[in-house]
Structure 1
C-alpha cells in the first residue's frame, strides 16, 4: 500500500469521525502477471526458500483502501505475508458496491463480497464462491453522547435511524438482527445513505441513532462524541453462538479450479494478518495505529476492545456451515429469493 493510500485512509477516518466525510466505506454492492528475469529483490517464503519479486504470482483483488479491509490489506503488504507465500496482492481500489461488480464481470480475479450479494449474483448466472475470511460483523448502533433517552432498539421504535442503503452488509445484518429480536425493519424509520452522510445525520441530530462500522466507530466512541448502544458481534454471539461473516473473500469457481495454489496462498496471507489482531490485539493496534488512523492511546484502547471481533482469522467447515445458515435465515426474512443458493462457501480448494 502506498504512502498516499495510507494518508487517504487516515484523512477519511478523521473526516468521517467528525461527520464531514462523504466517501464510501465498508459495506457490500484481470489476470495476474508473470514477472521477467533478472535482478529483483528477494523474499523468504514460509518454506524457507527465496524467490525474486518477478517470480511472485500477482493476484488482482478489488477492495477498498479505507475501513477495516483497507487496514488488513495494508498490513499484509507491510508485513510481506503475501510475498512469503509466493504471491503479490494487486489491490484494485474501488468502492464496496463496485468491487463485487468487477468480479462478476471478471475484470478482477478476487474481491470482497457479501454472502447475500454472492447468492443473488449466482441466481443471475454467476458462479461465485466464498473461499476465505475478510471481515466478520463489526458494526455498532450508536447515538450522540447527550441523547440519554435512547438505550436500546426498543427506544428507537418509530424513530429515525441512519443506516447504509440496501443491499449493504450493514442493512442485511441489521435486518437479520432485528428479525431475530422480534422486530421488523418497518418498526423503525430508517434513513439511508453513505457512510459519511449517516454519521453526519446523527451528529446534526437528524436521526436518533445510526449504525456504523469499525474503525469509524472507534474514534467516535473514544472521543466521547458518540455513545455505543449495541455492539453487533456481542449480540450475534449471544443469539447464534458465533459472529456473522460480513464480507468474505470471493472468486469465480472457474478461477479457483484453475488457480488452487494461488487461492490458498491468498487466503492464508489474509489469515496471517487477521491473527495479529486476534492473538495480540493491543500490541498490533499500537504498532499499526497510524495505518488504522488512530490518534491517541484512548483510541488504541477502544480499538483493542472491538477490532479482534472484526477479523475471523479462520476458515473451514465451521465457517462455511455458519454461512449456509446465515443465507438460509436471509431467505426466511426476504433478503434473498427462495431460489438463491446457500451452499456457496467452500473450504476445500
Structure 2
C-alpha cells in the first residue's frame, strides 16, 4: 500500500513538472512579447496624386516611426484601397465604398532622408470619381491606420499643348504654346481648360511651377542665370467636380543668361602728365564687375575708338601715345562684367584734355 502510494506520488510529480514546463514554454516566446503599439507604423499623411493622359500616379512617404516614436527599419508592405463612384450618383455624406485591398511591396528604410513609394493606375473610366487611401505594415499583424484620402475626377483627357517654345532672358525664361481645343478621342472641348507649366532643373523630375494659367504664355522668373532648365506644359480640364489632367507637351530647354550691363562709371576726369594723358574715374561697385574700357575721340570724328581696357582693381588709364596733331582729345569710360562676351555699359560723358 505504501509502495503503491509512493509510485502515484512520483507519477503526479512528473506530470506536474511537464505541465508547468508546457505552460511556461509552449507559447513560443523566448523573450517578453512586444506590445503592438511599439511596432505599429504611424499613418501616412502625405498621400498625393498626379494626373496625366495615361491615368493617375500616387505618391507617399514611407513612415519612419511607430505610433510611440520608435524608429522603423523597414515596411513589409503597403495596402492600397480604391473606390470608384459615378459622378451622377455620388453622395457627399455617404461612406466611401472602398473595394478589396491591393497589396504593394514595401522595403527597407534609408539611414538618412526620406523614401517615397508610388502606385500607378491606368484604364480609368470617364465620368467617375476615384478615391484612394493607403496603410503601411511593419509585420503581418502590425497595420497602420488609414492615410489621408485622395479624391479626383476622371474624364476623357484633353490633348497636349503643341508648339511649345521658350526664349531665354536675363534671370527669366519666356514660354509660349498653342491653345488646345480637343480631347484625346478627337471630340471638341466643351469644358474650360487651363495649363500647368512643369519644370525640371538639370534633367531632374518635372515639378509644377506657378499657378494654373488661362492663357498660353508664361514667364518664369524664379531661375538662376547660367543654369539649364527644361519645360513641359500640361492641359488641365476644369469641371465642377474637379480637374482632370490632360496631355503633356514635348520638352523644351533654355539657359537664362546675364544680359544686364554694369553701371556707367562717373566722375571721369583727365590731366596731361609727362607720361601721357591720364584718365581716372570713380570705381563701380558691382559683384560681377570685371573692369573698364577707355575710348578716345578726336575733333571731327563721328564715334570714339577703343584705346584700352583696364581690369580691377585699377580705375586709371594713361594714353601714352595720343595723336600729336590734335590740340584737344575727348575720352569716355564704360564698365564691363565677367560674362563672355562681356556685358558693357554705355559710355560715360566725355572729358576733354588739352594735348
TM-score range normalised by the length of the shorter chain? under 0.3
Higher helix fraction (1 or 2): 1
Q: Highest CA radius of gyration, 1 or 2? A: 2
TM-score by length of structure 1 reads 0.20
Flag the structure with more relative contact order, 1 or 2, with Cα contacts below 8 A and sequence separation at least 6. 1
TM-score by length of structure 2 reads 0.20
Higher strand fraction (1 or 2): 2
